[in-house]
Protein backbone atom coordinates (compact mmCIF):
# COMPACT_ATOMS: atom_id res chain seq x y z
CA UNK A 1 0.00 0.00 0.00
CA UNK A 2 2.88 2.38 0.60
CA UNK A 3 5.44 1.00 -1.80
CA UNK A 4 5.56 3.99 -4.16
CA UNK A 5 7.60 6.25 -1.87
CA UNK A 6 9.76 3.36 -0.82
CA UNK A 7 10.45 2.45 -4.45
CA UNK A 8 11.32 6.08 -5.20
CA UNK A 9 13.92 5.83 -2.45
CA UNK A 10 15.26 2.59 -3.92
CA UNK A 11 15.62 4.17 -7.37
CA UNK A 12 17.25 7.29 -5.90
CA UNK A 13 19.73 5.33 -3.82
CA UNK A 14 20.58 3.02 -6.75
CA UNK A 15 21.10 5.92 -9.16
CA UNK A 16 23.26 7.81 -6.66
CA UNK A 17 25.46 4.82 -5.89
CA UNK A 18 25.75 3.85 -9.56
CA UNK A 19 26.65 7.46 -10.36
CA UNK A 20 29.39 7.46 -7.73
CA UNK A 21 30.78 4.29 -9.30
CA UNK A 22 30.55 5.89 -12.76
CA UNK A 23 28.49 2.94 -13.97
CA UNK A 24 26.62 2.99 -17.26
CA UNK A 25 23.92 0.58 -16.24
CA UNK A 26 22.36 -0.88 -13.12
CA UNK A 27 21.91 -4.58 -13.81
CA UNK A 28 20.63 -5.84 -10.50
CA UNK A 29 19.53 -4.44 -7.13
CA UNK A 30 19.75 -6.78 -4.18
CA UNK A 31 17.17 -5.92 -1.53
CA UNK A 32 16.63 -7.41 1.89
CA UNK A 33 13.01 -7.38 3.04
CA UNK A 34 11.89 -8.65 6.44
CA UNK A 35 8.83 -10.85 6.55
CA UNK A 36 7.22 -8.55 9.12
CA UNK A 37 7.80 -5.34 7.21
CA UNK A 38 4.64 -4.33 5.42
CA UNK A 39 6.36 -4.16 2.04
CA UNK A 40 5.25 -6.31 -0.85
CA UNK A 41 7.98 -7.21 -3.38
CA UNK A 42 5.54 -7.44 -6.30
CA UNK A 43 4.37 -3.91 -5.60
CA UNK A 44 7.93 -2.61 -5.40
CA UNK A 45 8.70 -4.30 -8.73
CA UNK A 46 5.59 -2.77 -10.32
CA UNK A 47 6.52 0.78 -9.27
CA UNK A 48 10.17 0.21 -10.06
CA UNK A 49 9.44 -0.59 -13.69
CA UNK A 50 7.73 2.74 -14.17
CA UNK A 51 10.00 4.88 -11.95
CA UNK A 52 13.24 3.59 -13.48
CA UNK A 53 12.11 4.23 -17.03
CA UNK A 54 14.64 6.27 -19.03
CA UNK A 55 17.26 6.02 -16.29
CA UNK A 56 20.34 3.79 -16.17
CA UNK A 57 18.38 1.55 -13.81
CA UNK A 58 15.72 0.75 -16.41
CA UNK A 59 15.38 -2.99 -16.82
CA UNK A 60 17.39 -3.77 -13.68
CA UNK A 61 16.48 -7.00 -11.93
CA UNK A 62 15.21 -6.57 -8.39
CA UNK A 63 16.30 -9.45 -6.24
CA UNK A 64 14.49 -9.79 -2.92
CA UNK A 65 16.00 -11.70 -0.08
CA UNK A 66 13.26 -12.38 2.42
CA UNK A 67 14.26 -12.44 6.08
CA UNK A 68 12.07 -14.78 8.12
CA UNK A 69 10.69 -13.52 11.40
CA UNK A 70 12.87 -14.38 14.39
CA UNK A 71 11.79 -13.61 17.91
CA UNK A 72 13.70 -13.54 21.18
CA UNK A 73 11.98 -14.72 24.32
CA UNK A 74 12.27 -12.18 27.13
CA UNK A 75 11.97 -14.92 29.73
CA UNK A 76 14.53 -17.51 28.60
CA UNK A 77 16.37 -15.61 25.82
CA UNK A 78 15.71 -18.34 23.25
CA UNK A 79 15.73 -17.09 19.66
CA UNK A 80 13.12 -18.82 17.54
CA UNK A 81 11.00 -18.61 14.42
CA UNK A 82 7.36 -18.36 15.46
CA UNK A 83 5.39 -21.54 14.91
CA UNK A 84 1.99 -20.14 15.81
CA UNK A 85 0.18 -16.83 15.57
CA UNK A 86 0.52 -16.27 19.30
CA UNK A 87 4.32 -16.18 19.06
CA UNK A 88 4.71 -18.56 21.99
CA UNK A 89 8.29 -19.47 22.93
CA UNK A 90 8.90 -23.14 22.05
CA UNK A 91 11.42 -23.49 24.92
CA UNK A 92 9.52 -22.10 27.90
CA UNK A 93 6.03 -21.39 26.49
CA UNK A 94 6.57 -17.70 27.41
CA UNK A 95 4.52 -15.07 25.63
CA UNK A 96 6.83 -12.11 26.07
CA UNK A 97 8.94 -11.70 22.97
CA UNK A 98 10.91 -9.09 21.11
CA UNK A 99 11.37 -8.99 17.37
CA UNK A 100 14.92 -10.06 16.59
CA UNK A 101 14.69 -10.20 12.79
CA UNK A 102 12.01 -9.52 10.22
CA UNK A 103 11.59 -5.73 10.10
CA UNK A 104 14.42 -5.09 7.63
CA UNK A 105 14.12 -3.11 4.46
CA UNK A 106 17.43 -2.19 2.94
CA UNK A 107 19.49 -2.25 -0.24
CA UNK A 108 22.25 -4.75 0.31
CA UNK A 109 24.16 -4.23 -2.93
CA UNK A 110 24.00 -3.23 -6.57
CA UNK A 111 25.40 -4.94 -9.62
CA UNK A 112 26.42 -2.47 -12.28
CA UNK A 113 28.37 -2.36 -15.50
Count Cβ neighbours within 10 Å for each residue of 84-110 and write b for 16 or more, e otherwise: eeebbbeeeebeebeeebbebbeeeeb
Least spacing, CB of residue 18 vs another protein, in Å: 7
Task: Specify the length of the chain in residues.
Answer: 113
Q: Does 18 bind another protein (CB under 8 A)?
A: yes
User: At 24, is the secondary structure helix, strand, or coil?
Assistant: coil
Interacting residues with another protein between 45 and 104 (CB under 8 A): 74, 85-87, 95-99, 103
Residues that bind another protein (CB under 8 A): 1-2, 4-6, 8-10, 12-13, 17-18, 21, 23, 27, 31, 36-39, 74, 85-87, 95-99, 103, 105-113
Amino acid sequence: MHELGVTENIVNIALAKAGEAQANKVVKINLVVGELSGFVPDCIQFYFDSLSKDTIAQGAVLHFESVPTELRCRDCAAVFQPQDTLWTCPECAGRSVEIFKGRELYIESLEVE
